[in-house]
Amino acid sequence: MKLLRYGDQGAEKPGLLDSDGNIRDLSAHVSDLAGAALLPESLSRIAALDPAALPLVSDSPRVGPCVAGTGKFICIGLNYSDHAAETGATVPPEPVIFMKATSAICGPNDDVRIPRGSEKTDWEVELGVVIGRTAKYVSEAEALDHVAGYCLVHDVSERAFQAERAGQWTKGKSCDTFGPIGPWLVTPDEIADPQNLAMWLNVNGEKMQDGSSSTMVYGVAFVISYLSQFMSLQPGDIISTGTPPGVGMGLKPPRYLKDGDVVELGIEGLGTQKQRFVADA
């Protein structure tokens, strides 16, 4: 299934994308795509519904973040060997973990705000994993049983905030609107292999990233298992699993986003995003 949330910001409704690409309203069956609605039994009940019997959303509403109520937005850094190389870093012996503030989450096609004082706002297309049931001390073999679905994530970064000022990466990753997710939450039955998905990103129509999740250093199952040794993962938590090469900081000379730039990105089977970057007042 492809699940989504649609409507004005802060008032999104749950929906399902039918086989013809139409949005069907799920409000009579779940209040939102959050918490208990992401449990395996809840997703099974939704899957058993006849999409044609659900109310058709006839207009073209804004598409919001594909999950709600996210408690943790966890990111994995330097998780593609070729991306690590372009940034001058070595592949870490264990996954690099950092947090992105949940207040950064926005819809897949919402404007992204370039924060005050930013000179190095950068792009990163990433595969997102949404947790569907609590994971704590899980093995790698059972890790994928805890996945509600996959989604497209744009891990927007401000490199000067991230790396050139004292402290951790979080402040360069957590600016408002720096976490577009969606358009869809795609359930695992539609993703045969999360480690074999083409991914790409364009800036103003120019291809900048053209990679595959097959070049991840630490795969999805390993990352879930690894994280669950340090913290419990709850329904609605998002794990953003890293980016392939082609980011702005890796270019020679580096290139960063400015007011008016348009970024488009996508992952095979997970849809596309398109954002206009706008200088914050």
What would the 3-class secondary structure string for the chain be? CEEEEECCCCCCEEEEECCCCCEEECCCCCCCCCHHHHCHHHHHHHHCCCHHHCCECCCCCCECCCCCCCCCEEEEECCEHHHHHHCCCCCCCCCEEEECCHHHEECCCCCEEECCCCCCEECCEEEEEEECCCECCCCHHHHHHHEEEEEEEECCEEHHHHHHCCCCCHHHHCCCCCEEECCCEECHHHCCCCCCCEEEEEECCEEEEEEEHHHECCCHHHHHHHHHCCCCECCCCEEECCCCCCCHHHCCCCCCCCCCCEEEEEECCCEEEEEEEEECC
pLDDT digits (tens, 9 = 90+) for 27-56: 999 999 999 999 999 999 999 999 999 999
Q: Is 77 inside any structural domain? A: yes
pLDDT band (50, 70, 90) for residue 90: confident
Average pLDDT, the chain: 96
The confidence score (pLDDT) of residue 53 equals 97
Q: Is 63 inside any structural domain? A: no
The confidence score (pLDDT) of residue 117 equals 92
Say which residue the tokens 């070729």 belong to.
82
| Residues 35 and 171 both lie in one domain | no
Percent of the chain past pLDDT 90, that is, above it, reads: 91
pTM of the complete model: 0.96
| Residues 201 and 110 both lie in one domain | yes
The confidence score (pLDDT) of residue 265 equals 98
Domain count across the chain: 2
The CA-atom distances, in angstroms, between 154 and each of 20, 31, 45, 183 are 26, 26, 30, 11
The confidence score (pLDDT) of residue 241 equals 98
The CATH number assigned to the domain holding 88 equals: 3.90.850.10
| Residues 159 and 37 both lie in one domain | no
| Residues 45 and 159 both lie in one domain | no
Q: Is 245 inside any structural domain? A: yes
pLDDT at 225 over 90: yes
The confidence score (pLDDT) of residue 85 equals 75
| Residues 32 and 101 both lie in one domain | no
The C-alpha atoms of residue 125 and residue 242 are separated, in whole angstroms, by: 8
The confidence score (pLDDT) of residue 87 equals 74
Residue range 99-103: mean pLDDT, rounded = 97
| Residues 85 and 193 both lie in one domain | yes
The confidence score (pLDDT) of residue 84 equals 72
pLDDT band (50, 70, 90) for residue 163: confident
Q: Is 67 inside any structural domain? A: no
The confidence score (pLDDT) of residue 192 equals 93
| Residues 214 and 108 both lie in one domain | yes
| Residues 46 and 135 both lie in one domain | no
Q: Is 150 inside any structural domain? A: yes
Range of the domain at 41: 2-53
pLDDT digits (tens, 9 = 90+) for 58-78: 889 999 999 999 999 999 998
| Residues 229 and 175 both lie in one domain | yes
| Residues 38 and 86 both lie in one domain | no
pLDDT at 89 over 80: no
The neighbour count for residue 262, using CB atoms within 10 Å, is 13
pLDDT at 83 over 90: no
More confident call, 81 vs 116: 116
Residue range 232-238: mean pLDDT, rounded = 98
pLDDT at 281 over 90: no
pLDDT band (50, 70, 90) for residue 237: very high
Q: Is 59 inside any structural domain? A: no
